[in-house]
Amino acid sequence: MKQVLQHLRHGTTEVADIPCPRAARGQLLIRTSRTLVSAGTERMLVDFGKAGFVDKARQQPDKVRQVLDKIRTDGLVPTLQAVRNKLDQPLPMGYCNVGEVVEVGAGVAGFAVGDRVASNGRHAEMVAVPVNLCARVPDAVDDDDAAFTVLGAIALQGIRLVQPTLGEAVVVTGLGLIGLVTVQLLRAQGCRVLGLDFDADKLALARRFGADVVDLKSGADPVAAAVAFSRGRGVDAVIITASTKSSEPVHQAARMCRKRGRIVLVGVTGLELSRADFYEKELSFQVSCSYGPGRYDPAYEEKGQDYPVAFVRWTEQRNFEAVLDMLAEQKLDVAPLVSHRFGIDEAARAYEVVAGSEPSLGILLQYPPAAPVGSGRDSRAARTVAVSAAPGARATGARDVRPATAGRISVIGAGNYAGAVLVPAFKAAGAQLVRVASAGGVSSLHVARKFGFAEATTDVDALLADAACDAVVVSTRHDTHADYVVRALAAGKHVFVEKPLALSTAELDRIEAAAHAAPGRIVMVGFNRRFAPQVVRLRELLGAAPGPKSFVMTVNAGAIPREHWTQDPAVGGGRLLGEGCHFVDLLRFLAGAPVESHTAVRMAAATPDTATVTLCFAEGSIGTIHYFANGSKAFPKERLEVFAAGRVLQLDNFRRLAGFGWPGFAKMNLWRQDKGQAACAAAFVQAVRTAGPSPIPLPELLEVGRLSIAIEEGLR
Q: Is residue 681 part of a domain?
A: no
The predicted-structure confidence for 616-651, as pLDDT tens digits, reads as follows 999 999 999 999 999 988 888 999 999 999 999 999
* Cα 229 to the center of its chain, rounded Å: 45
Contact by Cβ (8 Å): 414, 436: yes
Q: Is 276 exposed, middle or buried (0-12, 13-18, 19+ CB in 10 A)?
A: exposed
DSSP conformational letter for 557: -
Whether the predicted pLDDT of 398 surpasses 80: no
Contact by Cβ (8 Å): 377, 64: no
Task: For residues 564 and 707, state if they share a domain.
Answer: yes
Could you give the residue ranges of the DSSP H alpha helices within 24-127? 39-50, 53-59, 61-74, 76-88
Q: What is the mean pLDDT of residues 93-113?
A: 95
Structure confidence at residue 392 (pLDDT): 54
The predicted-structure confidence for 23-55, as pLDDT tens digits, reads as follows 999 999 999 999 999 877 776 666 655 555 555
Task: For residues 707 and 614, state if they share a domain.
Answer: yes
Contact by Cβ (8 Å): 6, 75: no
Question: Would you put residue 516 in left (φ > 0), alpha (ψ -120 to 50) or beta?
Answer: alpha
Q: Is residue 298 part of a domain?
A: no
Q: Is 404 exposed, middle or buried (0-12, 13-18, 19+ CB in 10 A)?
A: exposed
Q: Is 583 exposed, middle or buried (0-12, 13-18, 19+ CB in 10 A)?
A: buried
Q: How far apart are CA 584 and CA 229, in angstroms?
A: 69
Domain boundary among 506, 526, 546: 526
The predicted-structure confidence for 449-463, as pLDDT tens digits, reads as follows 999 999 999 999 999
Task: For residues 568 and 514, state if they share a domain.
Answer: no
Task: For residues 521 and 535, state if they share a domain.
Answer: no
Task: For residues 433 and 359, state if they share a domain.
Answer: no
Give 401's pLDDT tier (boundaries 50, 70, 90): very low
Q: Is residue 503 part of a domain?
A: yes
Task: For residues 518 and 646, state if they share a domain.
Answer: no
Containing structural domain, residue 133: 2-148+334-366
CA–CA distances in Å: residue 260 to residues 171, 236, 282, 315, 650: 15, 8, 5, 27, 61
Q: What is the mean pLDDT of residues 123-151?
A: 97
* CATH number of residue 594's parent domain: 3.30.360.10
For residue 626, what are the β-bridge partners? 554, 612
Stated as kind and residue range, the H or E segment containing 524 is: strand 523-525
Average pLDDT value for the chain: 91
The predicted-structure confidence for 137-148, as pLDDT tens digits, reads as follows 999 999 999 999
Question: Is the pLDDT higher at 42 or at 495?
Answer: 495
Q: What is the mean pLDDT of residues 404-418?
A: 86
CA–CA distances in Å: residue 337 to residues 147, 179, 205, 254, 331: 12, 11, 8, 29, 14
Q: Is residue 306 part of a domain?
A: no
Q: How far apart are CA 683 and CA 505, in angstroms?
A: 27
In total, the chain counts a number of residues equal to 716
607-617 vs 595-604, strand pairing mode: antiparallel
Q: Minimal CA–CA distance to 145: which of 34, 241, 32?
A: 34
Task: For residues 486 and 510, state if they share a domain.
Answer: yes
Task: For residues 581 and 707, state if they share a domain.
Answer: yes
Q: Is residue 119 part of a domain?
A: yes
Task: For residues 20 and 35, state if they share a domain.
Answer: yes
Amino acid, res. 371: A
The predicted-structure confidence for 517-527, as pLDDT tens digits, reads as follows 999 999 999 99
* CATH number of residue 203's parent domain: 3.40.50.720
Domain boundary among 497, 526, 555: 526
Structure confidence at residue 79 (pLDDT): 65
Contact by Cβ (8 Å): 460, 436: no
Q: Is residue 683 part of a domain?
A: no
Structure confidence at residue 410 (pLDDT): 97
Give buried/exposed letters for 286-297 (b at 16+ CB in 10 A, else e): eebbbbbbbbeb
Amino acid, res. 328: A
The predicted-structure confidence for 343-374, as pLDDT tens digits, reads as follows 999 999 999 898 888 888 999 999 998 765 44
Q: Minimal CA–CA distance to 708: which of 577, 614, 520?
A: 577
Q: What is the mean pLDDT of residues 387-414?
A: 64
Both ends of the chain: CA-CA distance in Å? Answer: 44
Structure confidence at residue 229 (pLDDT): 97
Structure confidence at residue 555 (pLDDT): 97
Whether the predicted pLDDT of 437 surpasses 70: yes
Structure confidence at residue 645 (pLDDT): 93
Phi, psi angle pair for 38, to nearest 5°: -80, 110
Whether the predicted pLDDT of 62 surpasses 70: no
Structure confidence at residue 660 (pLDDT): 96
Tally of domains within the chain: 4
* Cα 513 to the center of its chain, rounded Å: 35
Stated as kind and residue range, the H or E segment containing 104 is: strand 97-104
- The three-state secondary structure class of 119 is strand
134-136 vs 116-119, strand pairing mode: antiparallel
Contact by Cβ (8 Å): 25, 107: yes
pLDDT more than 90, % of the chain? 80
Give 222's pLDDT tier (boundaries 50, 70, 90): very high
Whether the predicted pLDDT of 63 surpasses 80: no
Structure confidence at residue 395 (pLDDT): 46
Q: Minimal CA–CA distance to 510: which of 494, 525, 488?
A: 488
The predicted-structure confidence for 528-551, as pLDDT tens digits, reads as follows 999 999 999 999 999 988 899 999
* CATH number of residue 131's parent domain: 3.90.180.10
Q: How many CB atoms lie within 10 A of CB 221?
A: 13
Q: Is residue 431 part of a domain?
A: yes
Task: For residues 697 and 566, state if they share a domain.
Answer: yes
Task: For residues 559 and 696, state if they share a domain.
Answer: yes
Give 9's pLDDT tier (boundaries 50, 70, 90): confident
Question: Would you put residue 154 in left (φ > 0), alpha (ψ -120 to 50) or beta?
Answer: alpha
Contact by Cβ (8 Å): 597, 707: no
Q: How far apart are CA 70 and CA 653, in angstroms?
A: 12
Structure confidence at residue 399 (pLDDT): 44
Question: Would you put residue 492 in left (φ > 0), alpha (ψ -120 to 50) or beta?
Answer: left
Domain boundary among 511, 526, 541: 526
CA–CA distances in Å: residue 21 to residues 28, 102, 443: 10, 12, 12
Q: How many CB atoms lie within 10 A of CB 205?
A: 23
Q: How far apart are CA 334 and CA 329, in angstroms?
A: 12
For the ranges 328-332, 603-607, 702-706, which has the lowest average pLDDT? 603-607
Structure confidence at residue 372 (pLDDT): 56
Q: What is the mean pLDDT of residues 492-505?
A: 97
Q: Is residue 647 part of a domain?
A: yes
Stated as kind and residue range, the H or E segment containing 658 is: strand 656-660
Structure confidence at residue 260 (pLDDT): 96
For residue 97, what are the β-bridge partners? 35, 119
DSSP 254-314: HHHEEEEEEEEE-SB------HHHHHTTT-EEEE--TTSTTTT-HHHHTT--PPPTTT-S-
Whether the predicted pLDDT of 404 surpasses 50: no
Task: For residues 348 and 483, state if they share a domain.
Answer: no
- The three-state secondary structure class of 173 is strand
Q: Minimal CA–CA distance to 332: which of 177, 483, 474?
A: 177
Structure confidence at residue 373 (pLDDT): 44
Contact by Cβ (8 Å): 652, 535: no
